């Protein structure tokens, strides 16, 4: 018994009409329709979608590809997979399933020699290729109405292929490019580094996990979890089904700066302790960025709190820089009682521009002492330990610092930091990457904090008043105070 035997003539006619119109939403699950809606409403013509396994992302992409070809004569869809054999192996069964009830005159023909599906009735076609062995070049040239990169997180030459090969094909057609995938195995893959992370910063990544799949009930989810040794906590499960990006610690400068640690470290306004030691640290840029951090050490909690940052290029003149520094110090360290500005306990900087440091001191009265820069890896490790122990807090306004701490990596020989790309954050603007200069400023501050210095007065929290007896060890006038105390006590007893 075929599926048509269970349908009335009117139902078959309605279905065929939808095929003629190129409307196939009725073949999609509710979740797939939501994914499609999010893609079509994306103002950016390059969409990035993170999808859990078993959400049917290839089925959705093939459906959208077929719709594009049905709605327009001579439409072209370019479809890329990580490997050529995967393209044929994965596309064929999915296309067969989608097309099983397609009217005969609309069905595309598979042209093996050209690696494409061609629609005889209107000349449209779906071209496909693997990206291995330079396979993106197979999709070069001509116009395209839709580009799909399936399992983009595992494709070779991804950024080159999307920007240089596929990008020009949609310029005239006003078409779009869709990259859809589970996350790559490491965050260094181009899909994560060049696309997912910048898009996340702009709040433009569409993420759909196993819990978003209405076809997965509690039992099915438990079964999926049981496939992994550590269940829901297994890193592979969390990558494949929860779309979590697994951070590689091989080249990470601060491997302790995980997503979970970031969530605990980043804070809104904290109530400052009554006594603290304030610090300013600066990494001076020439061709790179100049970054200045402002923070304080909470002695009672043994915690370093970063309150704000200044990020500028190396060409900023001394007068402007001095004005910005004074303004930040005034903002955060003004005494609420007498409105005086508490001077920082220490300002530290590298010595890359001694003329700048001299001018700040002689012309503006803002002095920095040069930081030690020896044993850099030891200083970095000490910072990483403080992060792991929860001894660092950073206000969320310090966006450059957070970005640099999280993304900074060693170069191949572990001799220097890799350059970071600028990113755009929604409703914020551009966050500069540079040479991870904010990380350098953070290292300087962290290694120069005097953790033994107690900013609290010696009699802090001590009881005060004429009737309070103070211990002999704490009072210069302890003998007379003790005598007065006992005289008063005995006179009352009389």
User: Which 3 state secondary structure label does DSSP give 427?
Assistant: coil
Q: Check residue 470 and give its pLDDT.
A: 54
- Structural domain includes residue 366: yes
| 42 & 136 share domain | yes
| CATH code, domain carrying 324 | 3.30.420.280
Q: Check residue 218 and give its pLDDT.
A: 83
Range of the structural domain that residue 189 is part of: 18-242
Q: Check residue 3 and give its pLDDT.
A: 64
For residue range 135-188, what is the model confidence (pLDDT) as tens digits? 899 999 999 999 999 999 999 999 999 999 999 999 999 999 999 999 988 777
Query: Quick one: how far is CA 168 from the chain centroid?
Result: 28
- Residue 226: pLDDT band with limits 50, 70, 90: confident
How far is it, in rounded angstroms, from Cα 445 to Cα 383? 10
- Structural domain includes residue 296: yes
Q: Which of 178, 208, 242 corresponds to the end of one domain?
A: 242
- Structural domain includes residue 76: yes
Question: 3-state DSSP: the chain helix, strand, coil percent, rounded to 5?
Answer: 45, 20, 40
Strands 76-81 and 206-208: unpaired
| 35 & 67 share domain | yes
pLDDT exceeds 70 at position 472: no
| 232 & 276 share domain | no
- Residue 490: pLDDT band with limits 50, 70, 90: low
| 387 & 491 share domain | no
pLDDT exceeds 80 at position 133: yes
- Structural domain includes residue 104: yes
| 268 & 366 share domain | yes
Q: Check residue 336 and give its pLDDT.
A: 83
| 424 & 372 share domain | yes
Phi-psi map region of 461: left, alpha, beta (phi>0 left; psi -120 to 50 alpha): left
| 308 & 370 share domain | yes
Please, are residues 38 and 199 in contact by the beta-carbon 8 Å criterion?
no
- Residue 23: pLDDT band with limits 50, 70, 90: very high
> How many CA atoms lie within 13 Å of 469's alpha carbon, on the beta-carbon side?
11
Tell me how many domains the chain contains.
Answer: 3
| 51 & 198 share domain | yes
As a whole number, the mean pLDDT across the chain is: 87
- Structural domain includes residue 5: no
- Structural domain includes residue 279: yes
| 344 & 443 share domain | yes
For residue range 261-317, what is the model confidence (pLDDT) as tens digits? 888 999 998 899 999 999 999 999 877 899 999 999 999 999 999 999 999 987 778
Please, are residues 162 and 191 in contact by the beta-carbon 8 Å criterion?
no
Q: Of 208-217, 253-262, 316-325, 435-444, which range is least confident?
A: 208-217
| 293 & 410 share domain | yes
- Structural domain includes residue 404: yes
| 482 & 396 share domain | no
- Structural domain includes residue 195: yes
| 210 & 104 share domain | yes
């Amino acid at each position: 018994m075929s599926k048509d035997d269970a349908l009335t003539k009117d139902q078959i006619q309605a279905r065929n009409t939808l095929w003629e119109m190129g409307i196939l939403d009725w073949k999609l699950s509710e979740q797939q329709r939501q994914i499609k809606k999010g893609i079509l409403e994306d103002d950016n013509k390059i969409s990035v979608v993170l999808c859990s396994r078993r959400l049917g992302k290839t089925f959705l992409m093939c459906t959208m590809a077929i719709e594009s070809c049905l709605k327009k004569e001579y439409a072209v869809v370019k479809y890329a997979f990580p490997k050529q054999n995967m393209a044929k192996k994965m596309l064929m069964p999915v296309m067969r399933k989608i097309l099983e009830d397609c009217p005969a005159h609309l069905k595309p023909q598979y042209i093996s020699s050209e690696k494409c599906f061609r629609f005889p009735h209107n000349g449209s076609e779906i071209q496909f290729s693997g990206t291995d062995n330079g396979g993106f070049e197979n999709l070069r040239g001509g116009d395209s109405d839709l580009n799909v990169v399936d399992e983009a997180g595992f494709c070779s030459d991804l950024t080159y292929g999307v920007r240089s090969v596929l990008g020009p094909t949609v310029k005239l057609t006003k078409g779009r490019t869709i990259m859809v995938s589970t996350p790559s195995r490491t965050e260094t893959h181009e899909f994560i580094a060049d696309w997912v992370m910048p898009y996340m910063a702009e709040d433009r990544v569409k993420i759909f996990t196993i819990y978003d799949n209405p076809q997965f009930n509690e039992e099915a989810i438990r079964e999926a979890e049981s496939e992994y040794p550590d269940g829901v906590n297994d890193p592979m499960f969390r990558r494949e089904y929860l779309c979590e990006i697994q951070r590689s610690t091989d080249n990470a400068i601060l491997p302790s700066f995980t997503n979970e640690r970031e969530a605990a470290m980043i804070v809104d306004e904290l109530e400052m302790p009554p006594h603290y030691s304030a610090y300013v640290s600066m990494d001076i840029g020439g061709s790179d960025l100049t970054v200045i951090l402002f923070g304080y050490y909470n002695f009672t909690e043994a915690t370093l709190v970063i309150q704000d940052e200044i990020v500028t290029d190396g060409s900023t003149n001394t007068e402007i820089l001095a004005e910005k520094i004074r303004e930040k110090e005034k903002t955060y360290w003004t005494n609420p009682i007498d409105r005086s500005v508490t001077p920082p306990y220490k300002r530290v900087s590298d010595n890359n521009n001694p003329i700048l440091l001299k001018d700040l001191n002689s012309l503006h009265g803002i002095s920095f002492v040069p930081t030690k820069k020896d044993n850099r890896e030891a200083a970095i490790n000490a910072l990483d330990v403080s992060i792991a122990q929860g001894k660092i807090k950073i206000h969320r306004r310090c966006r450059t610092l957070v970005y640099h701490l999280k993304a900074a990596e060693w170069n191949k020989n572990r001799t220097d930091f890799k350059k970071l790309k600028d990113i755009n954050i929604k409703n914020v603007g551009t966050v500069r990457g540079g040479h991870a200069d904010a990380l350098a400023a953070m290292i300087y501050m962290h290694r120069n904090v005097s953790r033994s210095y107690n900013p609290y007065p010696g009699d802090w929290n001590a009881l005060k008043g004429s009737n309070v007896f103070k211990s002999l060890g704490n009072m210069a006038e302890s003998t007379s105070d003790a005598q007065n105390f006992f005289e008063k006590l005995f006179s009352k007893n009389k």
